[in-house]
Chains A and B, each alone.
Chain A
Amino acid sequence: MSAKTGVLTGAAGGIGRATAERLAADGWSLVLVDQFDNVADVAKGIKAKDGQKVIGVVADITNPDQYGAIDAAIASIGAPLKFLGLVAGVLQQVGSIETLDIAEWDRVFNVNLRANVFLMKHFIPALRAAKGASIVTVSSWYGKSGHGFFGAYCASKAGVISLTHTAAAELAADNIRVNSVAPGNVATSMHLDALREEAEKRSVTFEEMKKTEWDKIPLGRAAYPSEIASAISFLAGPDGSYLTGATIDVNGGCLFT
């Protein structure tokens, strides 16, 4: 297999870490990006075969001034950049449109949408030069339909799906495919924290809130992060070669679109 490098954001988080493990097993060298300092330890913990490298870089993706360290890591690996995985994201403080602080709206949009535009702008030239590359964004089932008390998060994720379409249209001629994975509920701290906060908001227990949400899922449970990683791996790999502009819903059947 010829050497290839991927950049993955949000790699210290639940889905990001599982994706790093999966892509490393698929043969990718990786630059793992996260604002959490422990991303270097995450990188060390990933099993890599001979000739593969996995490097952790601490960076705030909303600040393009910090992308230099990512470029340096890619250069040190020395294999062409053929994959950009935009996994990093934040949840919002749960609250109605009427009461939502606009600074919170801006914070969510800055990470979930604006930073991904910065990252695309920055990495498209390298992806183009690789002559055959792909971008995978992580959106959400909350981006496919609105939900009360999650106005900023839902709208930002709808934006991610739209951005995926536009990028697919613009980059097909450069042999860069752009697709999205829309997870349902995933059993990471993001989902469990959200359940906890929504339970408080609705004055019910965590277990009641969890049951209410999980009962809506035909497969009866939240996803393992590895189940989102496997869809990202598919889109980045050769089996996905005729897909562009697509969104794969990995949600246990909780939403049909």
Chain B
Amino acid sequence: MSENNKGGAVVTGAARGIGREIATALLRDGYGVVIADIDPAVGEQTVKELSKDHAGRVVFSKVDVTKRDEVKAAVAACCKEFGGINVMINNAGFNKPEPFLEASEKTWHAIMDVNALGVLIGIQEAAKAMIERGIKGKIINTASIAGRTGFADFAPYSASKAVVISLTQAGARALAGKGITVNAFGPGVVDTPLWEKLDADLLAMGASKAPGEAMNSLASQILLGRVAKPSDVVGTVRFLWSPQSDYMTGQVLLIDGGMILQ
């Protein structure tokens, strides 16, 4: 264990993309980290790579965030390995674009289960463990600009991210008395595998005409003139887990390079 041991953190959806970058920053800040992800192959590989600089302080836990037992097990693993859970990042999520009039029940349920119910379960299981140990922990959820403004081809996704914002507020009110804060961050357009898939899906749907076009057209609406890298998002998430934000709860920070100005 490192000398500046800050305790334990669980990050869901941390095998790759934004979650992986968050996990890396938590390790650098002295936390032990559980990479909780549904994809064991990529997840184990990520643990292997991060272990090079942080041996013994990062472990994998195979978790489908829609399964309470699996989330509970990841939280338990964190407490066992790192002596408690100080930070919970409910980050797992996905999108599947469909034209609004064709958005299906199947897609709705699949997205709502992971992006919305998964966050509820994550908040609950982390909070129970924090309360049990008297830890004034920080729970941080991944929302999106889509939770603030609906996108035509992302109806279920936009709705699921509005749920994340609601759960953040409800959780903040429910847990403030225990000294636990609940906040969210909402990325704009981030260049991750999620967008590679989205770009391909949008092309197949006919919503764009060439690879990369969908993302580029969004980039032109961003004041800072470019889409984000996962590392652009991390600074704000770090602010939310640091004592710098101790007086914040129930809030949503958008990190969109100046896109929707809300």
Q: Which residues of chain B have C-beta atoms less than 8 A from A220's C-beta?
A: 176-177
- The answer on a CB contact under 8 Å between A240 and B236 is yes
A242 to B187, CA, bound (A): 10
Partner of A241, one of B223, B232, B247, B249: B232
A234 at the interface (CB under 8 A from B): yes
Q: Which residues of chain B have C-beta atoms less than 8 A from A230's C-beta?
A: 243-245
- The answer on a CB contact under 8 Å between B249 and A253 is yes
B208 at the interface (CB under 8 A from A): no
- The answer on a CB contact under 8 Å between A219 and B176 is yes
A239 at the interface (CB under 8 A from B): yes
Query: Chain B's nearest CB lies how many Å from the CB of A104?
Result: 30
A29 to B251, CA, bound (A): 31
Interface of B: prevailing SS: mixed
A156 at the interface (CB under 8 A from B): no
B100 at the interface (CB under 8 A from A): no
What count of chain A residues pass the 8 Å CB interface test?
34
Partner of B169, one of A168, A173, A256: A256
Q: Which residues of chain B have C-beta atoms less than 8 A from A34's C-beta?
A: none
- The answer on a CB contact under 8 Å between B258 and A245 is yes
**Is the interface on chain B under 10, 10 to 19, 20 to 34, or 35 or more residues?**
20 to 34
Chain B residues numbered 35-62 whose CB sits less than 8 Å from any CB in chain A: none
Contact with A along B161-180 (1 / 0, CB 8 A): 00000000100110011000
Given A168-B223, A239-B238, A245-B223, is A234 in contact with B244 using a C-beta cutoff of 8 Å? yes
Chain A residues numbered 109-156 whose CB sits less than 8 Å from any CB in chain B: none
Q: Which residue of A lies closest to B244 (CB)?
A: A230
A230 to B172, CA, bound (A): 21
- The answer on a CB contact under 8 Å between B247 and A172 is no
- The answer on a CB contact under 8 Å between B232 and A242 is yes
- The answer on a CB contact under 8 Å between A218 and B258 is no
Given A169-B261, A218-B176, A253-B176, is A223 in contact with B223 using a C-beta cutoff of 8 Å? no
Query: Chain A's nearest CB lies how many Å from the CB of B147?
Result: 13
Q: Which residues of chain A have C-beta atoms less than 8 A from B93's C-beta?
A: none
Query: Chain B's nearest CB lies how many Å from the CB of A176?
Result: 11
Given A218-B173, A234-B244, A239-B238, is A244 in contact with B249 using a C-beta cutoff of 8 Å? no
A219 to B251, CA, bound (A): 13
Chain B residues numbered 218-257 whose CB sits less than 8 Å from any CB in chain A: 223-225, 228, 232-236, 238-239, 243-251, 253-257
- The answer on a CB contact under 8 Å between B253 and A227 is no
- The answer on a CB contact under 8 Å between B223 and A251 is no
A251 to B258, CA, bound (A): 23
Q: Which residues of chain B have C-beta atoms less than 8 A from A62's C-beta?
A: none
A36 at the interface (CB under 8 A from B): no
Q: Which residues of chain A have C-beta atoms less than 8 A from B254's C-beta?
A: 246
Q: Which residues of chain A have C-beta atoms less than 8 A from B243's C-beta?
A: 230
Q: 11 more A-B contacts (CB under 8 A) besides A240-B235, A243-B255?
A: A219-B176, A231-B248, A234-B239, A234-B245, A240-B239, A242-B235, A242-B236, A245-B258, A246-B255, A248-B253, A256-B251
What are 11 inter-chain pairs, A to B, with CB distance below 8 A?
A224-B247, A230-B243, A231-B248, A233-B244, A240-B235, A243-B257, A246-B253, A248-B253, A250-B248, A251-B251, A256-B172
**Chain B residues proximal to chain A, CB less than 8 Å:** 169, 172-173, 176-177, 181, 223-225, 228, 232-236, 238-239, 243-251, 253-258, 261
**Chain A residues proximal to chain B, CB less than 8 Å:** 165, 168-169, 172-173, 177, 184, 218-220, 223-224, 227-228, 230-231, 233-234, 238-246, 248-253, 256
